[in-house]
């Protein structure tokens, strides 16, 4: 599942064909010559603008391999021969999985510590959050009144029976949300809550986040649980204008504003254990944590900067300022296995 792209198609094809050694040689040939090699789950349109800027400012060339799947397995298989110096990926559980597999090395950087709040960094420096997203409730504009639903806990209220759409529980987005419920309520109470939410489903979980928005638009359900950026991606989708209607049908509810705040997750970066261009990799991540890139990176995808000194994109700002849950992502990652067990137990699949 490798995406070809105009500026690194050769590497992408080699990667897709499983020619790890070939890539290793291609990339290693340039090692030490002012380069940095990146494995990315993030799409070209998102990262190309600031990678170009990074090269312009530092002279360091960035080679990117884009992947949709299998990055962790690839890194494991490549071991010490891996050409990758850094990885870019989404979701705390994926970052943690790379850390747990021993594929990363700690980053020490004053710049990163200054730019990124501790709750969005690994306590041991193994990963760093770079953009923030929140998991919110998208309510049918014409069928749910403002203020009628306010929290994740409200989703378990029997009044919503047959009215909620959400993707499968085992997806990383939902697993992290459940982990946050465990952190705040303990396993027993969280189990009851999630059981209550599942009992309110309008249909068997299916599709991705956008599919839930579509279902609200079609009247299948009145509430969906989605990541905030999909709202922007649908609202401005020129290639698939139907999605603009799905977005128009929704009112965004930032949950738990009277309490702990909305659950957030990150996309992030890490330096690989065997990085040959370690200093360049750290320099790149420092650049990603700074003013210029934070604003650009976050707004490209309707996300929020992790750097609290960086202003928000006008569009996402227009959806509302909101309070974020201050629970550390490291805690969410730790509770991820317990969350998955809970999801299996209550049958959210
Ligand atoms: Fe997503």
| 38-87 pLDDT, tens digit each | 999 998 888 999 999 999 999 999 999 998 889 999 999 999 999 999 99
Q: Ligand 1 centre and the CA of 42: distance in Å?
A: 10
Looking at residue 10, its pLDDT comes to: 34
Q: Ligand 1 centre and the CA of 268: distance in Å?
A: 13
Looking at residue 41, its pLDDT comes to: 92
The DSSP element (H or E) to which 339 belongs, if any, is: helix 329-346
Is 17-132+265-318 CATH 3.60.60.10?
Answer: no
- Check residue 304 and report its DSSP letter: E
Looking at residue 32, its pLDDT comes to: 45
Q: Which residues pair with 105 in a beta bridge?
A: 271
Predicted model pTM: 0.89
Q: Ligand 1 centre and the CA of 58: distance in Å?
A: 31
Task: Report the distance separating Cα 249 and Cα 223, nearest Å.
Answer: 11
Looking at residue 4, its pLDDT comes to: 36
Looking at residue 185, its pLDDT comes to: 98
Task: Report the distance separating Cα 3 and Cα 207, nearest Å.
Answer: 22
Looking at residue 149, its pLDDT comes to: 98
Task: Report the distance separating Cα 207 and Cα 41, nearest Å.
Answer: 20
Q: Ligand 1 centre and the CA of 10: distance in Å?
A: 26
The length of the chain, given as a count of residues: 349
Q: Give domain 133-262+324-346's CATH number out of 3.40.50.2000, 3.40.50.300, 3.40.190.10, 3.40.50.1390.
A: 3.40.190.10
pLDDT in tens, the chain (349 residues): 344 343 343 344 334 433 333 333 344 444 444 999 999 999 888 899 999 999 999 999 999 999 888 999 999 999 999 999 999 999 999 999 999 999 999 999 999 999 999 999 999 999 999 999 999 999 999 999 999 999 999 999 999 999 999 999 999 999 999 999 999 999 999 999 999 999 999 999 999 999 999 999 999 999 999 999 999 999 999 999 999 999 999 999 999 999 999 999 999 999 999 999 999 999 999 999 999 899 999 999 999 999 999 999 999 999 999 999 999 999 999 999 999 999 999 999 9
Q: Assess whether the region 17-132+265-318 and the region 133-262+324-346 belong to the same CATH fold.
A: yes
Q: Ligand 1 centre and the CA of 278: distance in Å?
A: 28
Phi-psi region of 65 (alpha: psi -120 to 50; beta: other; left: phi over 0): beta
Calculate the CA dihedral of residues 304, 308, 311, 315 and round it to 10 degrees: 20
Q: Ligand 1 centre and the CA of 81: distance in Å?
A: 30
Looking at residue 280, its pLDDT comes to: 97
Looking at residue 265, its pLDDT comes to: 97
Q: Ligand 1 centre and the CA of 292: distance in Å?
A: 23
Q: Ligand 1 centre and the CA of 251: distance in Å?
A: 19
Residue with tokens 């989404």: 90
Domain ranges of the chain: 17-132+265-318, 133-262+324-346
């Amino acid at each position: 599942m490798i995406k070809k792209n105009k500026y690194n198609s050769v590497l992408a094809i080699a990667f897709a064909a499983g020619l790890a050694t070939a890539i290793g040689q291609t990339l290693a040939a340039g090692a030490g010559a002012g380069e940095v090699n990146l494995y990315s789950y993030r799409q070209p349109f998102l990262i190309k603008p600031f990678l170009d800027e990074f090269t312009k400012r530092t002279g360091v060339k960035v080679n990117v391999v884009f992947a949709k799947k299998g990055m962790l397995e690839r890194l494991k298989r490549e071991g010490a021969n891996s050409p990758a110096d850094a990885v870019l990926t989404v979701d705390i559980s994926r970052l943690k999985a790379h850390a747990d597999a021993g594929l990363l090395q700690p980053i020490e950087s004053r710049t990163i510590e200054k730019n990124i709040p501790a709750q969005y960094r690994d306590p041991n420096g193994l990963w760093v959050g770079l953009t923030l997203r929140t998991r919110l409730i998208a309510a049918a504009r014409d069928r749910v009144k403002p203020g009628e639903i306010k929290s994740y806990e409200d989703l378990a209220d029997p009044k919503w029976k047959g009215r909620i759409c959400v993707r499968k529980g085992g997806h990383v987005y939902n697993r992290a949300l459940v982990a946050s419920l465990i952190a705040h309520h303990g396993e027993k109470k969280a189990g009851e809550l999630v059981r209550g939410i599942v009992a309110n489903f309008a249909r068997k979980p299916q599709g991705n986040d956008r599919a839930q928005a579509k279902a609200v638009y079609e009247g299948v359900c009145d509430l969906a649980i989605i990541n905030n950026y999909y709202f922007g991606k649908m609202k401005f989708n020129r290639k698939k204008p139907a999605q603009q209607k799905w977005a128009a049908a929704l009112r965004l509810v930032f949950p738990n504003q009277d309490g702990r705040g909305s659950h957030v997750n990150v996309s992030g970066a890490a330096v690989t254990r065997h990085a040959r261009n370690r200093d360049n990799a750290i320099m790149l991540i420092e650049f990603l944590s700074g003013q210029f890139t934070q604003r650009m990176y976050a707004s490209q995808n309707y996300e929020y900067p992790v750097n609290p000194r960086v202003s928000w994109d006008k569009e996402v700002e227009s959806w509302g300022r909101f309070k974020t849950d201050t629970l550390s992502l490291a805690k969410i990652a730790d509770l991820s296995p317990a969350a998955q067990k809970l999801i299996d137990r209550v049958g959210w699949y």
